[in-house]
Structure 1
């Protein structure tokens, strides 16, 4: 059995010019651009552009953040599809279709979530003091619970789960690299 104290963590640069920071900023802009539709509509051109731009972003971040990028993009697309289904269901029920809109301004709940989420990335992606031991996992579980309880929306939960999956992938890779090193 491996002692996690001995396994080095793959470190990510989180400076404002880093690839991770650029990805996160681009993703936030993408959310603001597509979450509420285009000109309050979600027609074929909108979906085509959403898919095309998602593919471009996933190709752009094709390195160590590829899977993380894909998971966050899929979370956004799933949220938009959920909203679209809800809007269409209201039409079937004889109600007027009303585009579900989210405030994305600096004082919005969504902006606050993304600010806390970026802090969570910075606090946990590189482990705790360069390691991922039991107290680290307990702390990430506690923080994840707090943030998802506070914002309590599927979209936010999915994004937090994307970070946890990214950390699990890294943990697995770190352990595999360590096993090979000591073999």
Structure 2
């Protein structure tokens, strides 16, 4: 989950649209994801940690199949993407082992905010916040009252600005390299739905 610091800012006067992603978007989204991992994590992580981050992060096409992954475009160019999930997996891409597709119970479990990435060229323009609010609204419409995510050091400022609080600081060491992460959550509901307009 990547977004630049201060990504809750306002998008300037450009044509901005958002829609659900399809598999046809993958050729454009995969380079965006790679650039986000490489460039937005660089201020915080060393080269070895960034290489390891690629092994634990990435786009999970299950989100596209489930119809819960959104693409934001500015002037027709993909500027960011992200999704939410009604399934158990908290983070990771298609290549990440140990994913769990079991469905969550909205009455007792939080929805997952997943695979958030911003094109570095559009960082700090509100792209990440737009994706986040739309995901929260869609999850709330399905009865979820909380949202949970795993934040990278680069994404954490966005989530804190959006009202998420840290539940746990931890390191992913599954690759043999320490990647600092933070498990975060917040309450969602009618307010989030109002903030995130329709898909």
Q: Would you say same fold, with TM above 0.5?
A: no
Which structure is richer in relative contact order (CA contacts within 8 A, separation 6 or more)? 1
For the pair shown, which has the larger CA radius of gyration, 1 or 2?
1
- Greater strand share, structure number: 2
TM-score of the pair, normalised by structure 1: 0.30
